[in-house]
Amino acid sequence: MRTIHTTQITQAVRELCIEANHYLTPDMDAALKQAADTEKSPLGKQILTQLQDNLQIAGDDQIPICQDTGMAVIFMEIGQEVHFEGGLLEDAINEGVRQGYRDGYLRKSVVKDPLLRENTKDNTPAVIHYELTMGDQVTITVAPKGFGSENMSRVFMLKPADGIEGVKNAILTAVKDAGPNACPPMVVGVGVGGTFEKCALMAKKALTRPVNVHSDIPYVQEMEKELLDKINRTGIGPGGLGGTTTALAVNINTYPTHIAGLPVAVNICCHVNRHAVRVL
């Protein structure tokens, strides 16, 4: 049994909130640079170049990549041989978010009640997902989610008879309906299977998979490639102003489901697709 003090969790979450809002992951940075090289529309190429300039300024001057620094979504993969001491884990995570958004001068965007709309003034609480794994390590993924793209996400409760073509059509429908509102070029996270809530969680988690890594299930991998090609043929383009780069990746996760259902969730993320990872 390995003991981890919750102050380590707070410190890690604080640093990850700041890191995710100031720097892209290497795979996203490479994907955007490649998109700027291959984009066929002059206007689209100009927009992608401007996005690169924005990223450079954000890193050099330590200012956020985007003014919407998101609601903090935290994935906690906890080895079952880990014991926490020093207080409640959830409190430690939220304290890390509080410190990160305060010390990083990040916009506080969370309201404590969805209808009364009073700002919490520290971007807490986070949305936290826990998963028990083997071993004695803790993997923390902080994924700030802006709501320009979040608002464009969809859940489809398809019939089994809709099959793979129905799944493809649902994904394409969500992307086309999103259009410029999701700040393209976007990353499209998809969850297929499970239940209403499980497919949405899978879609959210899919956004944290590197954009240069495909599913290890052959037919899913082919579907990811096919849909990326079809999405980039829609002509939505960078910034929604036309072009050949509407999406940088389509990441699909699947899970067993009920004989009577075929749930599909599409969680769209903007061109920065922010997340940062730390292993303790």
Q: What is the pLDDT of residues 111-123, one digit of tens each?
A: 999 999 999 999 9
pLDDT at 239 over 90: yes
Average per-residue pLDDT in the chain?
96
pLDDT of residue 245: 97
Question: And the tokens for 61?
Answer: 């001057």
Distant-in-sequence, close-in-space partners of 228: CB < 8 Å, separation ≥ 6: 247, 249, 250
- The pTM for the full model equals 0.94
Q: Does residue 242 contact residue 182 with C-beta atoms inside 8 Å?
A: no
* Residue 210, helix vs strand vs coil: coil
Q: How much is the average pLDDT of 256-260?
A: 98
Query: What percent of the chain has pLDDT above 70?
Result: 100
Q: How confident is the model at residue 141 (pLDDT cuts 50, 70, 90)?
A: very high
Closest CA to 209 of 75, 34, 48, 101: 75
Q: Percentage helix, strand, coil, to 5, in the chain?
A: 45, 25, 30
Pairwise CA distance, residues 264 & 1, whole Å: 39
On the question of pLDDT at 171 being above 90, the answer is: yes
Nearest one of 211, 158, 219 to 189, comparing CA atoms: 211
- Asked whether the predicted pLDDT for residue 59 surpasses 90, the reply is no
Output the pLDDT for position 2. Answer: 96
Q: Which residues contact 70 (CB under 8 A, 6 or more apart)?
A: 21, 109, 144, 145, 146, 147, 274
The pLDDT tens digits of the residues spanning 203-214 come to 999 999 999 999
pLDDT tens sequence across 62-112: 899 999 999 999 999 999 999 999 999 999 999 999 999 999 999 999 999
Share of the chain above pLDDT 90, in %: 95
Cα torsion 188, 150, 177, 204: sign? positive
Sign of torsion over alpha carbons 263, 187, 240, 44:
negative
Q: Which residue has the higher pLDDT, 196 or 24?
A: 196
Q: Which two tokens stand for residue 143?
A: 């994924």
Above 90 in pLDDT, residue 128? Answer: yes
Question: Does 8 score more than 90 pLDDT?
Answer: yes
| C-alpha triplet 110, 73, 120: angle, nearest 5° | 20
